[in-house]
A = this chain, B = another copy of it.
């Protein structure tokens, strides 16, 4: 890869260079990048907005994160919040602070990943800001989306008796991260060692290139299922079910044996002397969806291999609990907050 200094292009040249091939695909995108603001027209639909910040050495480590994957993930993380409202993302803006140790080619890699994600999710990149930082890379994404008013799913609609559903499988991203951290440490201690990551593709892809669950939102719409509450799984389902229960003023009972965990996740957890269910409950960054449905919709859910019923909404006074395979009950507490 060549290394063109950022100063060769200048600020305005850099923005033009990175965004010149962006074509708008949504009819609601009237004017994109290039003026003081982008212009959208959403007549007849409600508009959703969500924003996320990814900070180097907090949310990602460039030692083991390919830049294209980082760009892809930044978009996926942000649109995931829009899907979690049962809406379709339509536009995104990206603000980026980079130090001058980054080259133009490095930023192109990030943008390439972003553009691929935008194409996959059908989102238009309509604006942004590029500035320098003293040190490190910070990415800030804001996604807009649309939905018909009656289709929007909030966190506060869960009712006693509703079934709790999780998509995909859980805990894999956390174990992928542990693997990468282990290999990084070995590399720091013994730089001649080769990383041992063969056969770990699934776990690595889950942390490095997660997908937002557009497919699930499409499935729900096609099968006329309107969840009663929904949230995306960024901090682990233990934390997310607490958000739903607090907003809905209900409790929850999750059954350990129903929580979907991939075989790769279980094996890797055991290798690390961790309990797989702990990784699945508290490991973050899976970007799956956690939602509740009226029991009358249970039969429709069974058409999807990607959705597991993992428990039931119970009265608030009964708490938020896990029933273990051994039949014991544990309180599920919100963890999150890894960062401070």
In the bound complex, CA of A336 to CA of B9 (Å): 12
In the bound complex, CA of A38 to CA of B146 (Å): 11
Interface size class of A (residues with CB under 8 A): 35 or more
In the bound complex, CA of A34 to CA of B247 (Å): 9
Q: A residues within 8 Å of B by Cβ?
A: 5-7, 10-12, 30-31, 34-44, 46-53, 55-59, 81-82, 84-85, 87, 91, 93-97, 100, 126-129, 131-136, 138, 140, 142-145, 149, 152, 154-156, 230-232, 243, 247, 334, 336-337, 339-340
Cross-chain contact A132 with B95 (CB below 8 angstroms): no
A53-B85 contact given A131-B58, A155-B35, CB 8 Å threshold = no
Cross-chain contact B133 with A49 (CB below 8 angstroms): no
A39-B152 contact given A11-B339, A91-B49, A142-B93, CB 8 Å threshold = yes
Cross-chain contact B149 with A55 (CB below 8 angstroms): no
For the A-B complex with A10-B337, A51-B93 known, give 19 more contacts whose Cβ atoms are closer than 8 Å.
A31-B154, A35-B85, A36-B231, A37-B81, A37-B145, A39-B46, A39-B48, A42-B43, A49-B93, A50-B127, A51-B127, A53-B95, A53-B131, A58-B97, A58-B133, A95-B140, A131-B339, A132-B339, A135-B135
Determine how close the nearest CB of chain B comes to the CB of A234; give it in whole angstroms.
9
Cross-chain contact B128 with A51 (CB below 8 angstroms): yes
Q: Would you mind naming 15 contact pairs between A and B with Cβ atoms under 8 Å apart?
A: A10-B340, A11-B340, A12-B243, A35-B156, A36-B50, A36-B85, A38-B50, A40-B49, A50-B93, A50-B127, A51-B95, A52-B95, A52-B129, A55-B131, A133-B138
